[in-house]
Amino acid sequence: MEFQKLVKQLKELNLPEDQHVVVGSGALAARGMREANDFDVLVTKQLWDRLASNYKVEITPEGIENINLGDIQILGKGSVFSDENIADLQTLIQTAEAVEGVCFINLPYLKKFKQKLGREKDLKDIELIDRYLANHG
């Protein structure tokens, strides 16, 4: 999916800036490293509760709570990105980097989450992150 279309879809949701952060491949797309098919978004409990009262909460086969809003996935309980041993949500929001007016997880934290996931695609993403950080500091 084209990055600009994902940005537009997310902005149309009017989520409070201080209550969400885009994680996963969206953060790579924001920096031109690779395409993203969707945006995975972490939100505060307050915002989750508001969204969950208006939209259907699904549970993925991996046991992750998820609110599917087209190409925007709001991640709930069970997401690796909720692992506070790596970073709590407020830290992720406070250290996020804005691109096109959207807050994306910073790359060092994304790398830690990708290392924990350890899937083949995550290992490839880690290589992209390392290369990007080496060239952009």
So what's the pLDDT on residue 1? Answer: 63
How do the domains of the chain map onto residue ranges?
A: 3-106
Instruction: Report the CATH number of the 3-106 domain.
Output: 3.10.450
Residue 16 burial (CB count, 10 A):
11
Sheet holding 20-23, edge to edge: 57-59, 65-69, 72-75, 39-43, 20-23, 102-104, 97-99
| Grouped pLDDT means (10 residues each) for the chain, 137 residues | 92 96 97 96 97 96 94 94 93 96 97 95 96 90
Give the global pTM: 0.94
Residue 22 backbone dihedrals phi, psi, to 5 degrees? -85, 130
Q: Which of 21, 40, 46 is nearest to 103 (CA)?
A: 21
